[in-house]
Amino acid sequence: PDENSGDITVAVPEFGPLLQKLRDKNTEVVQEEIKLTRDGKLENLLVRISTRRNEDGRLEGYVIAFDDVTDLVSAQRMAAWGDVARRIAHEIKNPLTPIQLSAERLKRKFSPMVGDQSETLEQYTDVIIRQTGDLRRIVDEFSKFARMPEPELRTHDLTKILRDAVTLQESALADVAIKADLPDKPVMAELDATMISQALVNLIKNAGEAIESLQKKGAPEGYKPEIRVEMKADDGTININISDNGIGLPEDRARLFEPYVTTREEGTGLGLPIVKKIIEEHGGTLILRDAEIFEGNTRAGARAEIRLPAKFVSGSNDNSRGN
């Protein structure tokens, strides 16, 4: 057959190298895992291409079969990172306390003895103490990721939990307008209030950090930082959207859910993986998309979309709103 006719690489360019490999090696079957991105979502496909021949052995074409192994690859990666996190947390946490205590004792004992060098000594020991504290924070994040507890499900008002998360971040993000569009009646759901609250606070905090990143990079003139929080409940799903007009998402946004991947210099890269894990433990999904372009803006920020299944809804499904 004509190698250029009906070429699958026109529809799926990522299959091209594997098809060419089959042709070049003059073999009957090739198989590889291929990564492709569509609409900002990274997918892992296990692709198998084999030749198709007629009764005379003449090549008629190619047969392509593929399986979506994205979830399997993600589960394997998360399990591996969980093991790494456990080991790191154990190995690093043990020496942190004696290091910090030793630095504090050096500061107390020798500061009076070194005269005009006491300020320098205190500066050095303060660096040790501060960096030890930073390491402890990172280790705590490792521990949270590696030992995520099972959710303790109780009936709670999800509207109140989300409103409380908004109120908390309104204080922390004083220069950002946070607009909440929530049901004005309780939406009762079976969930772990502490874990869901942690997830929602983290997502709103991430939105604020995206705005901060844009401002550091150089926001356009007249820029008004804004976060929009919406929740709707219908017969099938609880939908929560958290949008911002910050710096936006990277092209390969799916990698943000991988442990230790972050776009911020001071981030640990564990925030979103933990949030995703919490949502999934509640039978839901978390997706990152480009937000709609806010009025007065020229670029899209980010939107986190949380979906919880109807089986967790046990109360009001009222859609009337208020804040």
Higher pLDDT, 20 or 86: 20
pTM: 0.59
Q: What is the DSSP letter of 151?
A: P
What pLDDT shows up at residue 180? 95
Tell me the per-residue pLDDT of 133-188, one tens digit each, with 9 for 90 and over: 878 877 776 666 666 667 888 889 999 999 999 998 998 888 999 999 999 888 88
Report long-range pairs for 49-55 (Cβ below 8 Å, ≥24 apart). 49/15, 49/18, 49/19, 49/22, 50/22, 51/22
What pLDDT shows up at residue 200? 94
> For residue 255, which of 73, 57, 90, 108 has the smallest C-alpha distance?
73
Write the single-letter amino acid at 263.
T
Q: Is the pLDDT of residue 92 over 80?
A: no
pLDDT band (50, 70, 90) for residue 259: low
What pLDDT shows up at residue 262? 55
